[in-house]
Chain A
């Protein structure tokens, strides 16, 4: 696998085939936890780690797996990785674990992960699967952070609040831009609006680029 192809995998995950923006997979955690940037960052890192490890493991074992039992094996691998991730979060990032709550164990049901196992890792080598996992995971994580950033800014008027959840210490209010905010943004409808705007922005940028290419 050449470095050009690896870069292509990264680019696919980050932009062209972004799991959240293009494939619209894993929307449940995306919409649910992104009320702040830190929450998005936390779940993003957890998803990135699980996705990358599951891609590598699925790819490494693909020669021994019969087609009939591949799905139960993906489920086993993903569920074990998620359980380990949850335990690690509980041990080292307890505050973040409390704020993400059920959405860490629910990474198991993030269809973006099983989709990458089925579509990519089961048909490609370990190295390219690794890069596919990193690219897709990072693409998903960046989207979570972007949506979290916007919702927090509009809904609470703050930037990067609650960073103590990651590093411990005293509660941090973050950078307060305005006191209070437009509440709707942190409520569930705000999640849908923010995601819709992100998808629209991507399509707009793509359309603009295509227009430049065609003229």
Chain B
């Protein structure tokens, strides 16, 4: 239990720091777990994983600087709530919805892991391509002034993802002989630049004094009316997060962005989105924490990591002499109960800590801008440099900061660009793999995709999602003309 508490505190702290994500921390802590037994080790690492996703929402809400990539969707609405003086409420809802999402996914993990693992196993390159396309189509509605701007941002993210060595052919693209570009552009420096540095540059141009900072209300457990309003969003986010987390290679960031868009789609208060919607905090936060439990499904049931972080946890298990796989459920149930219990406990601990410490966190918004924003910049430089200890990443962060500033001024949302960057590699590789499977001519490709029902359903939902707003607008225009 002590390991769970320590892991939770550490997870919240590092989750809030831009650039030091849960996966980096777990990688740094892994050597220390060798001396522990397998159960304390997995409890410690699992707690960090659970808490870091929540920790990222703290700075996302307070200063529009997501501490973890999975909190980038939370920043869209959470920061707007903070600007309206509702930072405490946003933090409270973030804590509650994160805990609910995390607990739901652990319960699903306990009862449905083997079944979910079989479903995940049936996803091949065509299904992944269709899912990635679906995720990208969601970008049309994520923040920003218009769908065209969002899709341009997403396409720019896809383009940035092509920088570096093409895995299939070995050809270097857009590297121009620069060694740092040969490895591609990481999304952590881009994320930090777009959100944190872009916001800092914008704040420097505006330079509102302290009077502009609205007093944050105290953090509080959301009231019954607020919970009732957000429960649909929380369930949507929890379901999406658990499912997407169970699919290898997607992770909490994708889950959060899709969760945000689906929350918006099904909300009865769509007009609040973009102006500080509490549902826009609840949905993605439930999704990104539900993805934690979901990602443990293929990790434990198949030995295939569900995310980068679970890949490191998998390494930690192997170091402890445990080989995950289907046999784990029958041969080592004690270990599994420990994993489930530690994740459940971590969710409850960070809920309590988040609510009790959120008043303290919310006071960040009262720090004079002359101190706060330069500190954010310095922290961003360290955050961009830290993961790969590369100055090239700092240059990328600065360039992304300029782009982030220009995006703000032009009414573009930064989230679609991140989505494109995160999914870009997968879109291209799965498309290539699908074309290799089906053949090069259009007829065989079409026939191939028609034979994949899961992919077909996803394509249909994607098309409906993109065309429905256009059709609805045309229909309304025709009705107005007739009237």
Chains A and B bind each other: no
A residues in contact (CB < 8 Å) with B: none
